[in-house]
Amino acid sequence: MRYRRGQEIDVEVERVAIEGRGVGRVDGIVVFVDKGLPGERVRARVSRVKRSFVHARVVEVVRPSPLRIPGRCVHLPLCGGCTWQELDYEAQLDAKTGLVQEALERLGGFRGIEIPRALASPERFFYRNKMEFSFFAGSDGEPVLGLHTPGTFDRVFDLEACHLMSESSNAIVARVRDLARRSGLAAYHSRRHEGFWRYLVVREGKNTGQTMVNLVTNAGPLPNRGEVVDTLKREVPALTSLLRNINTRRATIAVGEEQELLYGAAEIDEILAGLRFRISANSFFQPNPRQAERLFELVCDWADPSGGDEILDLYAGTGVISLFLARRARRVTGIELARSAVADAERNAQLNGVDNCRFLAGEVRDFFKRRAAEARVARLVIADPPRAGLHADVVRALRLLRPVRILYVSCNPSTLARDLQLLCRDDFFRLRRVQPVDMFPHTYHVETVAELVAQSPS
């Protein structure tokens, strides 16, 4: 049967797939259903048609899944963030474990690998330490402040409450929205590229109680600066940093070319496993710090370095994994492309009195080409690449280097499976164990730690 866009079909959802969609079959055709949960029958409207599959969106839940629970968020129909909020949390963990299993078997060709259940997050709500909220020009001309509706870059709904960050952050959003409206300046228009207010970024140190408020605006003076500072100081007791980032570019990012300190310090601190990290407005830090601590301790336990080990930390970011490992290794060398992240990593090492870490700025693949002799010393390699996974040159370099072990930390099961398959080809490495970790409850995202062991050359 040939389907068409807009057609409504009945689908029995069997399971969830990568990217969190429900999966079923109708007349032998695979149907991916947005927000369809395993074990339920839905009426869905076809949104995209391909030769071997179709995409559809739920119009009506005809028979609810036994795993379906009431959603907590008032914005559930509008917001695309917590796509699994109506799926029982234990079922979320099973589904994420299944996503990793499916990717390794179907894309990586691995069989017989026992995959433990995904590690649960210590907190299921209010776990994030950073959220970005967007401004938008409302129908009455006043600034709207909230989150984007799914699949759009120029439509924002006014946020009443988000259950991913702290409850106090919701009060900050409400107060900043009011201050923006009182300023008399318009929200930035992403199509006309005019207007003043662009983003609000709230960051928190979950283990230090410190809060940063970062207002991202277009160029020009902040007319009610005194009122902004006085109001937020008074109403946000944990406020330790109030900044303004000025972004005049058309790019829809919450990062400015220029930064203005309005109150307090330019950074906040976070503590993980006794290590202190300084976080600036535009630096990366794991969004779920308490689960990140468990993730990094898992990496350290699996690494189990001796005091004489040399370790390579590829895609080192701001040096968190490097600093965790440095307490048990002779030396850790972190490689990171972003110079700002390298500067943060060096500062974090100094802050913690760690002198056996060094951080080098540049492409990971270039490191293997230019410093091959240094790379050969490492018995253990940690790789924590972006979602795109390892560059082909890095895979080739690791196969040539053949360290004793590789610990691969991944945020994308598909690219993880691809890279592991390439590394293990011709028995260069053996996949020893895998552990999924739930960093983002109520979403389909899953982190995974995999350990590879070098095989002896034949």
Token readout for 187 is: 């929200």
What is the dihedral sign for C-alpha 351, 288, 338, 200? negative
Which bin fits 68, alpha (ψ -120 to 50), beta or left (φ > 0)?
A: beta
Cα 11 to its chain centre, rounded Å, is 31
Q: Which domains does the chain possess?
A: 8-68 (2.40.50.140), 94-122+288-454 (3.40.50.150), 130-272 (2.40.50.1070)
447-454 and 429-437 beta bridge pairing: antiparallel
Please say whether the beta carbons of 47 and 36 come within 8 A.
no
Tens digit of each residue's pLDDT (9 = 90 or more) over 341-366: 999 999 999 999 999 999 999 999 99
* Mean pLDDT, residues 138-153: 82
Q: Which amino acid would we find at residue 270?
A: E
Q: How many CB atoms lie within 10 A of CB 276?
A: 15
Which of 138-142, 187-191, 319-323: highest mean pLDDT? 319-323
Predicted TM-score (pTM) of this structure: 0.92
H helices within 116-224, ranges in order? 167-183
Average pLDDT over residues 200-219: 97
Mean per-residue pLDDT, 312-325 = 96
Residue 1 clears pLDDT 70, i.e. is over it: no
Task: Let me know how many helices (H) and strands (E) the chain has, helices first.
Answer: 10, 22
The pLDDT assigned to 405 comes to: 96
Structure-block tokens of residue 254? 């919450």
Task: Give the model's confidence band at 143: pLDDT under 50 very low, under 70 low, under 90 confident, else very high.
Answer: very high
Q: pLDDT tens digits for 149-176?
A: 876 767 889 999 999 999 999 999 999 9
- pLDDT at residue 3, as a whole number: 82
Which candidate, 99, 173, 74, places its Cα nearest to that of 132?
173
Catalytic site residue from 82, 357, 411, 424: 411
> What percent of the chain has a predicted confidence (pLDDT) above 90?
79
237 or 51: which leads in pLDDT: 237
Three-point CA angle 269, 131, 342, nearest 5°: 50
Q: For residue 121, name the pLDDT band (cuts at 50, 70, 90).
A: very high
Please indicate whether residue 357 is annotated as part of the active site.
no
Rounded Cα distance, 222 and 184, in Å: 10
pLDDT of 370: 87
Question: What is the pLDDT averaged over residues 79-99?
Answer: 93
In tens, the pLDDT along 365-418 reads 999 988 877 778 888 999 999 999 999 999 999 999 999 999 999 999 999 999
Measured CA to CA in angstroms, residue 231 lies from 142, 168, 191, 267 at distances of 20, 14, 32, 20
pLDDT band at 139 (very low <50, low <70, confident <90, very high): confident
